[in-house]
Amino acid sequence: MRSFTAVVNPAAGSDPAARLIPVARRLREAGAEVAVEYSRSLEHAADLARDAAKKGDVVIAAGGDGMVGGLAGALAGTGATLGILPAGRGNDFARQLGLPHEPEQLAELLLSAETATVDAIEVESGDGVRHIVVGSVYSGVDSVANAHINRLTRLPGSLAYYLGPLRAIATWRPVSYRVTVDGETCEERGYTVVAANSGYYGYGLHVAPDASVSDGLLDVVIIRHAPKRLFFSVMRELPHGTHVRRPEIAVLRGREVRIEADREIPYGGDGELLGTLPVTIRVLPGALRVIAP
């Protein structure tokens, strides 16, 4: 019987404490021990996760993509196991893993599913600061939108993820990117560059439909410059992943990616802004154990 420590982000968008109650009840009814810890910050959450892992507990990330990425950073490479209770506004990594939403199904998964080994991403800024994320790293109109979304904390996720990109696109000017994938460099003017481990980001946008969390590769999606009316056409296709057929889209694959730009552009990962370009991104094959279907 597994034992669990749920690390809860009380500021997450879908009331993770309330989402946890029926799941924890079912786990306890099955005989599992369940501890609950409330985080004050991502750094505090990572400390709680490390302490729980030392006791041999499965660590449950109760929150959104930022919480999942933060706990993954604490547990990657340790052999500890991460469970996920999707309770944020985006929940894109949970979507990629195919996690159930209903409490009964999620509790059964946490109790009995075998662990899966998935890749993570190491992100190194220009000054050498490193982060671990699990979903994707993005830099462009989407990272600017991320900044707007993070300010719209009182709005429902669907509305925040609609208004944030609109504000970003309204003031966007094309960026000249220099993208190096496994030593091969290309230069593009465009809207964004996404280095994806998971196929989803930005509240269900299927930005990298062929991405796999267990293939040891990053899918690098470049949205090239085009008139804004065409960009909105690309946006409409992003939820379905059909945008990759367009000539405005380039898809590359590799293990290490460096992104540079001709002006100061922020970059983000797993819903959190991490810094400004340049950035170097490396896949960490099989770095994380998760409970997934």
Chunked into runs of 10 residues, the chain (293 residues) has average pLDDT values of 94 82 97 96 95 97 93 95 92 95 96 96 92 95 85 69 80 94 97 97 93 97 91 89 95 98 95 94 97 94
pLDDT reported for residue 156 = 63
> Do 278 and 258 contact (CB within 8 A), yes or no?
yes
**Residues 140 and 240 reside in one and the same domain:** yes
**Residues 154 and 257 reside in one and the same domain:** yes
Asked which of 81, 113, 145 is the last residue of a domain, the reply is: 113
Asked which of 93, 113, 133 is the last residue of a domain, the reply is: 113
**Residues 71 and 207 reside in one and the same domain:** no
**Residues 144 and 237 reside in one and the same domain:** yes
Please indicate, yes or no, if residue 35 is contained in any of the structural domains.
Answer: yes
The residue segments making up the domain with residue 106 are 4-113
> Residue 243 sits in a domain of what CATH number?
2.60.200.40
**Domain total in the chain:** 2
Show the tokens assigned to 88: 């944020």
**Residues 135 and 280 reside in one and the same domain:** yes
pLDDT reported for residue 61 = 97
Please indicate, yes or no, if residue 246 is contained in any of the structural domains.
Answer: yes
Asked which of 70, 94, 113 is the last residue of a domain, the reply is: 113
**Residues 58 and 139 reside in one and the same domain:** no
> Do 73 and 269 contact (CB within 8 A), yes or no?
no
pLDDT reported for residue 274 = 94
Q: Where are the beta strands (DSSP E) in the chain?
A: 4-8, 34-38, 58-63, 81-86, 115-125, 130-133, 136-140, 175-181, 184-196, 218-224, 249-254, 256-261, 266-269, 272-276, 279-291
Please indicate, yes or no, if residue 18 is contained in any of the structural domains.
Answer: yes
Please indicate, yes or no, if residue 83 is contained in any of the structural domains.
Answer: yes
**Residues 78 and 169 reside in one and the same domain:** no
Distances (CA, A) of 288 to 62, 74, 100: 17, 10, 20
Closest CA to 92 of 255, 192, 211: 211
pLDDT reported for residue 94 = 96
**Residues 252 and 149 reside in one and the same domain:** yes
pLDDT reported for residue 157 = 63
pLDDT reported for residue 123 = 97
pLDDT reported for residue 222 = 97
pLDDT reported for residue 221 = 98
**Residues 102 and 205 reside in one and the same domain:** no
**Residues 138 and 270 reside in one and the same domain:** yes
